[in-house]
Amino acid sequence: MAKKTIEDIQVNGKTVLVRVDFNVPMEDGRITDDNRIRQAIPTLKYLLDQNAKVVCFSHLGRIKSEDDKAKNSLRVVSETLSEQLNQPVTFIPETRGETLENAIKALKTKEILMFENTRFEDIDGKRESKNDPELGRYWASLGDVFVNDAFGTAHRAHASNVGIASNIEVSVAGKLLEKEIDFLGGAIENPKRPFVAILGGAKVSDKIGVIRNLLTIADMILVGGGMSYTFLKAQGFEIGTSLVENDKIELAKSLLDEAQGKIVLPKDYKLTKEFSNEAPYRIARYDQFTPDEMGLDVGTETIEMYKELLSNAQTVVWNGPVGVFEFSNYAEGTKAICEILGNAKDTITIIGGGDSASAAINFGYEQAFTHISTGGGASLEYLEGKDLPGVSCLSDR
């Protein structure tokens, strides 16, 4: 990549500020998926092995009240990080002040400290998420070097990435950020062909830019999930009570025209009359919906089509499930994509974060993909061809 990485600099004896993405899902004070923590370990271990003093920090959740602060402390994350690094992690429950400053000054080489949720600074004026200049300068003053390893927030200019980078001499990418850019960038800039994109999820509006950009790059785009019903309706088909964006019908028509056959929609669906796992369903073709039915997954004919169309692909980028995979009766399509791609030995397979990443991990295919991105929104913006401020701010090679 064109930006400096941690292997381009010397960190021996230096205090290294590391922006990680530990915005992990929590339930009753317990981490339910520690993937983002595990993905950060190579960077942190490398820095510790190079005799750095490591200060890591992250956001967690959205902070609008004192109750939010109580539920979103990074203390439990620091405990999990300590287990995975197999060494103590000092936790400082502050985002600024003497306690934090003294703890950082007391760090020895090969020691690591984590300070509190950066979004705690948002409770009074959104200082973190609006890149308050004073906050960026303050955090930058706490260390010698800045490492951004938080791809999940790279599409946002925050005080904890752009703000620090603007006020410190050296800013570099961590191993995870480098990996994300190499895989996603490689897929966009120089893919092995045939290059197939799979786009699912609920809304066409979420992926307009992605579709437009991929139409100029991909050989084929398989569109499934809730967004496919808007495309069906744009072609004049009955979609019953399925999810639809009526204000995007004309847009869907224009995208189909632009695509000139590159956009491939499902051949059949699992149809039901209730949004429920228990309600009866039937499998029918795309032109056989009744007015009181909704589609919640793709059908068996579509799965067979996916197997055929993906069999020769050399690069596949997947973003968004093709059904309501949280319901066991409607997880078949998404699970089938995991299986097809997981068994594609000579294919570069990339999941662009979000729900499709969760599905792959939950279905046991985490190790079967070439790369699973940690950043849903950042992945989408990168696939759109947009500039990522959290990457642009880093030092050039």
Does residue 182 belong to any structural domain of this protein?
no
Give burial (CB, 10 Å; 0-12/13-18/19+) of 278. Answer: exposed
DSSP single-letter state for residue 112: E
Q: Higher confidence at residue 345 or residue 272?
A: 272
DSSP single-letter state for residue 12: T
Q: Say whether both 169 and 278 belong to one domain.
A: no
CA 157 to CA 382: how far, in whole Å? 15
CA 381 to CA 180: how far, in whole Å? 13
Does residue 392 belong to any structural domain of this protein?
no
* Residue percentage of the chain with pLDDT more than 70: 100
Taking residues 177-192, what's their average pLDDT? 91
Taking residues 130-156, what's their average pLDDT? 97
Q: Provide the pLDDT confidence category of residue 354 given band limits of 50, 70 and 90.
A: confident
Q: Assign residue 58 the CATH number of its domain.
A: 3.40.50.1260
Q: Is 333 a catalytic residue?
A: no
The three-state secondary structure class of 378 is: helix
pLDDT tens per residue, range 260-304: 999 999 999 999 999 999 999 999 999 999 999 999 999 999 999
Q: Say whether both 60 and 133 belong to one domain.
A: yes
Active site residue: 186, 209, 377, 385, which one?
377
Name the packing angle between helices 75-85 and 35-49 (round to 10°). Answer: 60
Q: Say whether both 170 and 270 belong to one domain.
A: no
Does residue 388 belong to any structural domain of this protein?
no
Q: Which of 342, 323, 341, 340 is nearest to 332 (CA)?
A: 323
- The whole-number pLDDT of residue 377 equals 85
DSSP 263-299: EE--SEEEEESSSSSSS-EEEEETT---TT-EEEEE-
Taking residues 141-146, what's their average pLDDT? 98
Q: Say whether both 104 and 196 belong to one domain.
A: no
Statement: residue 210 has pLDDT above 80: yes
Q: Say whether both 169 and 196 belong to one domain.
A: no
Q: Is 323 a catalytic residue?
A: no
Does residue 389 belong to any structural domain of this protein?
no
Residue 220 neighbours by CB distance under 10 Å: 19
Name the packing angle between helices 376-383 and 175-189 (round to 10°). Answer: 30
Active site residue: 69, 71, 126, 203, which one?
203
Does residue 241 belong to any structural domain of this protein?
yes
Q: Say whether both 162 and 234 belong to one domain.
A: no
pLDDT tens per residue, range 78-103: 999 999 999 999 999 999 999 999 99
Does residue 393 belong to any structural domain of this protein?
no
In three state form, how does the secondary structure of 306-361 look?
HHHHHCCCCEEEEECCCCCCCCHHHCHHHHHHHHHHHCCCCCEEEECCHHHHHHHH
Q: How far is CA 95 from CA 154, 338, 367, in A?
A: 20, 40, 36
Asked whether 106 and 66 are in contact (CB, 8 A), the reply is no
- The whole-number pLDDT of residue 227 equals 95
Omega before 194 cis (within 30°)?
Answer: yes
Does residue 186 belong to any structural domain of this protein?
no
Residues in Cβ contact with 382 at an 8 Å cutoff, skipping those fewer than 6 apart: 155, 181, 184, 185, 188, 388
Q: Say whether both 145 and 244 belong to one domain.
A: no
Q: Say whether both 151 and 200 belong to one domain.
A: no
Asked whether 377 and 152 are in contact (CB, 8 A), the reply is yes
What is the total count of domains within the chain? 2
* Residue percentage of the chain with pLDDT more than 90: 85
Q: Say whether both 234 and 350 belong to one domain.
A: yes
Name the packing angle between helices 332-342 and 300-310 (round to 10°). Answer: 20
Statement: residue 353 has pLDDT above 80: no
Dihedrals φ, ψ of 319, to 5°?
A: -140, 110
Cα 210-376-24 angle, rounded to 5 deg: 175
Taking residues 308-329, what's their average pLDDT? 96
Q: Provide the pLDDT confidence category of residue 189 given band limits of 50, 70 and 90.
A: confident
Q: Say whether both 203 and 71 belong to one domain.
A: no
Q: Is 354 a catalytic residue?
A: yes
Active site residue: 36, 53, 207, 335, which one?
36
Q: Say whether both 164 and 200 belong to one domain.
A: no
Does residue 183 belong to any structural domain of this protein?
no
CA 316 to CA 199: how far, in whole Å? 11
Domain residues for the domain of 220 are 191-383
Q: Is 193 a catalytic residue?
A: no
Active site residue: 200, 354, 375, 376, which one?
354
- DSSP E strands in 58-159: the ranges are 89-92, 112-115, 145-148
